[in-house]
Structure 1
Amino acid sequence: MKGTAASIICLFYLVILVDSERYKPTWDSIDSRPLPDWYDKSKIGIFMHWGVFSVPSFSSAWFWEQWKTAKLPAVVDFMKENYRPGFTYADFAAQFTAEFYNPDQWADILAASGAKYVVLVTKHHEGFCNWPSKYSFNWNAGDVGPNRDLVGDLAQSIRNKTDLHFGVYHSLFEFYHPLYLQDAANNYKTQDFVRIKTMPELYELVNRYKPDVVWSDGDWMVNDTYWNATQFLAWLYNDSPVKETVVVNDRWGKNIRCKHGGFLNCNDKFNPGVLQKRKWENCMTIDRKAWEFRRTATFADFLDLKDLTREIATTISCGGNLLVNVGPTPDGRIAPIYEERLRQMGGWLKTNGEAIYESKPWKHQNDTIRTGVWYTSKKTESGLSVYAIVLDWPDNDVLHLGAPSPTSTTVVTMLGYKGKIDWKSGGKQGGITINMPIISINELPSDSAWVFRMDGLNK
């Protein structure tokens, strides 16, 4: 009997221990989960907005809503001038053909960008699923349009061809789903849409594609309790096939943004310019005006490499990750302007990634006297290395930095430049004065931003 009693007591304490290690469906418990290391180390990701909205390619991914509800004159006129009477938004799905979609080619471009993860839009607010979901009959890429699994094909190529982490974007709500409209009409006192449609899709996505990022959106009209957000996240962290690696954002209810979740997005293009207490992400677009491919875009609408390096510097120095968006064409191509920008960014990161990947914010995020200079830091073989990312070449070829405090053992180098850097202590002003290398532009490692590594500074 004593042995039996002892076994029961041990089993009792084992159950308590196991239960205590599980995350509960409360925000205090969900927020206590440590963010997997890979995400902070990665720093750069690629966002991909692709769906039926890519077919009209006219205004935005909100095209359907702008046409039928907001009735934006430009959108209404576009439809009148280019499509037959009676044409419906659903008719666009058959034109979402993706005939030139080559996931291996996408994987090559994404790897060349220097990014470490990719987040593919699997379902936007229009409700069309880019995978053959059993919860979206005849409104998914398996049943209509491409007649293939767009999500699964890219996931396979990413994992076979690159070392990038694969992630999925999923919109909780849909513009015109009858169950969602019914719940909204009931002031969200019913949850038929959540129970029958949107949450089953999320479980299906995770179990089928095992993403390392679940990027939620479409949450802003109602609180998290309607979405059953904490129940899903507790399952994701406790029992899902990606429980050890997955990261999530903060878009799980209108009361949750910028407060709870794995990392904080807050708002689109969130870039506070100062160090944040929690890990955050700046999701932004190469096309200044849209997230998806636009046939009406002009060359001036696109960020250039200098714009991108500015976003990288200002984001990473303040502890954020940068999620750079591109919009593929409806026939499945990454347009040349996007490919060029991604490969340019990858070239810059190949030279200067030492200052970006696995870095940490320094005690100063930007310089104390010189604008356009942002700092990161990293533990290296020489101790703590500090990196100054210089966005603008000084007019007189002399760079004064106020934040670094040099010592007799300080060494200054420029990433990607083999020559010796001429520098000295800033004297009474303090800091460091660097004579910028005056050589052919072809010999410089970049023409958009330059990174100086400083070792042996005062702590």
Structure 2
Amino acid sequence: MDQAWQRATARYAPERKALLAEVAQGDAIGPFRPDWISLAQYQAPAWFGAAKFGIFIHWGVYAVPAFANEWYPRNMYDGTTREHAHQLDTHGPLTHRGYKDFIAGFKARHWDPAAWARLFKQAGARYVVQVAEHSDGFAMYDSKLSRWTAAQMGPKRDVVAALERAVRAEGLRFGLSSHRAEHDWFFDHGRELASDVNDPADADFYGPAVPHFVQDGDQDLQQDWTYVSPTYVDDWLARTAELEAYYRPDLIYLDWWVGHPAFRGALAEFLAYYYNRGAQRDGVVLNYKLHALPAGSAVLDVERGQLGDIRPTPWQTDTTISNSSWGYVESDSYRSATSIIQLLADVVSKNGNLLLDVGPRPDGTIVPQEQAVLLEIGRWLATNGAAIYDSHPWRVSGEGPTAPTAGAFKEQLAKPWTADDFRFTRNKDLLYAIEFGWPADGTVTIRSIKPTDRVQDVRLLGSSTPVRWQSTGQGLVLHVGSRPAGPAAFVYAIRTATDTP
């Protein structure tokens, strides 16, 4: 299987060799070397810790079938899934219409990258991360290592280049994500039945499609025995290097399967190359998940989850507005702006960033429900941004009866917040207390703020009504009256006479 893919991609060997040579040259310029002791000296740049809020974009060919989620390309070939049944019922046999045939419907006719960038800025985002290549193997940029790209098919334009220009024109940071590693096995179910995955003419698109051979689940990659050839690892390294070589992203997000042991040497080479080039700018960020990289060598991302307490170094959580998918699907439902703002406050109180995903339609438009959520978040940040941007953790992240379950993929266990739940941040000489509800009787006590903090002033951001307060042995008592309009994330700016780290 792997040899068939190698034969189909042999035409790109010179370009691959040239990119690998560029990586080796970048590894040699310092300050980082391609070994984990050197890479453990990495520190996230200041801009990332200050940004706090970013937008993630899952947009690709998987938006055309618009069913289930962005893993439709894999699951449509799995005879046990509803995606497979939907594919046969809607589109016919897989020998007649496979995933590659959806590319023709991915035209992006109404795509306006400048409008996207304006919307993301209005939402209050400070950085934007686009999926450059998902696990389906279709590059959204002008890759020199594939003909299956948005520059040559579908939209017939370099989508990454156009969005990068628009995002930077709005003064935002630009990042890219790569899910290329798992393309090694992503279409393996297509080997199990009659499908176009077995057609040698399409082997350069469907990849090796070797059996995904795992034990103890997908998250323990030490027990993942899937075959990965040295040639595929070289291809992964070259295709990931293209992102830096062509677009100079401020951030690169790598999906979890780069933690497979086969990629470890190539990962060290890429990180040294990327970090050395980033050091010539003002620093870059690489996100990893689970245990894909050694702690300290990059920035941890906790997918669809949170941490239980303050992390001393910056980190990130990523989640999506949609309740079901990272990419566009028809008849979807969406999370409220209030729930996302509360998540943002919780994450920021623990020294983290929130990367929030949207899934545009295949024509390039963003659904109105997602736009409405983004704009409401932006309005909240316009009033309360001092508690978020450029902020730092306080001595505790928060207080209250509701504690989120820590860990990746745990957000479905979240319980509703109450008016007794607070999250704290610091910015310059002010302490910010963010309340996740409004007390029914108009009075609430913040127990973490003691008389020794010597409170001098309290005000509610966005309100001209004075806040009456008392510093007591039980905590800071606030008499706040009737609830103001807006999401249930009310921010009190508190001035104290002490510097409370």
Q: Indicate whether the TM-score tops 0.5.
A: yes
Q: Does 1:92 align with 2:105?
A: no
Counterpart residue number, 1:352: 384
TM-superposed deviation, 1:294: 1.1
The one of 415, 436, 451 equivalent to 2:491 is 451
**In structure 2, do the counterparts of structure 1 residues 367 and 179 end up closer, same or farther at CA, with 3 Å as the change threshold?**
closer
Q: Does 1:193 align with 2:232?
A: yes
For residues 284-363 of structure 1, the aligned pairs below 5 Å read 284-297=319-332, 301-363=333-395
Q: Normalising by structure 1, what TM-score? A: 0.86
TM-superposed deviation, 1:355: 0.4
For residues 261-300 of structure 1, the aligned pairs below 5 Å read 261-266=297-302, 268-297=303-332
Counterpart residue number, 2:424: 375
Q: Which runs of 5+ in 2 are unaligned?
A: 1-26, 188-204, 214-224, 402-418
TM-superposed deviation, 1:180: 4.2
Distance, in Å, in 2 between the alignment partners of 1:403 and 1:241 is 40
User: In structure 2, the residue corresponding to 1:433 is in which secondary structure?
Assistant: strand
- Is the Cα–Cα contact under 8 Å of residues 456 and 497 in structure 2 kept in the other structure? yes
Deviation string 1:379-434 (CA, Å, 9 cap, x unpaired) is 2xxxx3110001110111111110112465611011111221111123x42x1111
Counterpart residue number, 1:393: 438
- Is the Cα–Cα contact under 8 Å of residues 143 and 149 in structure 2 kept in the other structure? yes
User: In structure 1, the residue corresponding to 2:229 is in which secondary structure?
Assistant: coil
Counterpart residue number, 1:79: 87
**In structure 2, do the counterparts of structure 1 residues 190 and 395 end up closer, same or farther at CA, with 3 Å as the change threshold?**
same
Distance, in Å, in 1 between the alignment partners of 2:79 and 2:446 is 53
TM-superposed deviation, 1:220: 5.3
Counterpart residue number, 1:415: 461
Distance, in Å, in 1 between the alignment partners of 2:326 and 2:228 is 33
Counterpart residue number, 1:230: 268
TM-superposed deviation, 1:211: 0.7
| Identity across matched positions, percent | 28
- Is the Cα–Cα contact under 8 Å of residues 278 and 284 in structure 2 kept in the other structure? no
Code of the aligned partner of 2:146 = S
Return 170-179 or 124-133, whichever deviates more. 170-179
Counterpart residue number, 2:247: 209
Q: Does 1:364 align with 2:374?
A: no
Q: Which runs of 5+ in 1 are unaligned?
A: 1-17
User: In structure 2, the residue corresponding to 1:413 is in which secondary structure?
Assistant: strand
Counterpart residue number, 1:434: 478
TM-superposed deviation, 1:73: 3.2
Distance, in Å, in 2 between the alignment partners of 1:226 and 1:34 is 20
Return 305-314 or 364-373, whichever deviates more. 364-373
Number of residues of Structure 1 aligned to a counterpart in Structure 2: 422
User: In structure 1, the residue corresponding to 2:396 is in which secondary structure?
Assistant: coil
Code of the aligned partner of 1:283 = D
Counterpart residue number, 1:15: none
**In structure 2, do the counterparts of structure 1 residues 291 and 408 end up closer, same or farther at CA, with 3 Å as the change threshold?**
closer
Q: Normalising by structure 2, what TM-score? A: 0.79
Distance, in Å, in 1 between the alignment partners of 2:120 and 2:400 is 36
User: In structure 1, the residue corresponding to 2:269 is in which secondary structure?
Assistant: helix
Distance, in Å, in 2 between the alignment partners of 1:60 and 1:392 is 33
Code of the aligned partner of 1:435 = H
- Is the Cα–Cα contact under 8 Å of residues 124 and 170 in structure 1 kept in the other structure? yes
Deviation string 1:240-266 (CA, Å, 9 cap, x unpaired) is 686532110124xx7535735321014
TM-superposed deviation, 1:310: 1.1
The one of 150, 163, 166 equivalent to 2:171 is 163
Distance, in Å, in 2 between the alignment partners of 1:419 and 1:217 is 47
Distance, in Å, in 1 between the alignment partners of 2:471 and 2:57 is 46
TM-superposed deviation, 1:170: 0.8
- Is the Cα–Cα contact under 8 Å of residues 228 and 262 in structure 2 kept in the other structure? no
Code of the aligned partner of 1:374 = R
TM-superposed deviation, 1:269: 1.2
Distance, in Å, in 1 between the alignment partners of 2:228 and 2:381 is 50
TM-superposed deviation, 1:98: 0.6
Distance, in Å, in 2 between the alignment partners of 1:412 and 1:232 is 49
Counterpart residue number, 1:7: none
User: In structure 2, the residue corresponding to 1:219 is in which secondary structure?
Assistant: helix
Deviation string 1:30-56 (CA, Å, 9 cap, x unpaired) is 121221100000000000001111111
- Is the Cα–Cα contact under 8 Å of residues 47 and 325 in structure 1 kept in the other structure? yes
User: In structure 2, the residue corresponding to 1:282 is in which secondary structure?
Assistant: strand
User: In structure 2, the residue corresponding to 1:128 is in which secondary structure?
Assistant: coil
Q: Does 1:27 align with 2:27?
A: no
Counterpart residue number, 2:190: none
Distance, in Å, in 2 between the alignment partners of 1:96 and 1:189 is 30
- Is the Cα–Cα contact under 8 Å of residues 224 and 256 in structure 1 kept in the other structure? no
Distance, in Å, in 2 between the alignment partners of 1:43 and 1:224 is 33
**In structure 2, do the counterparts of structure 1 residues 397 and 26 end up closer, same or farther at CA, with 3 Å as the change threshold?**
same
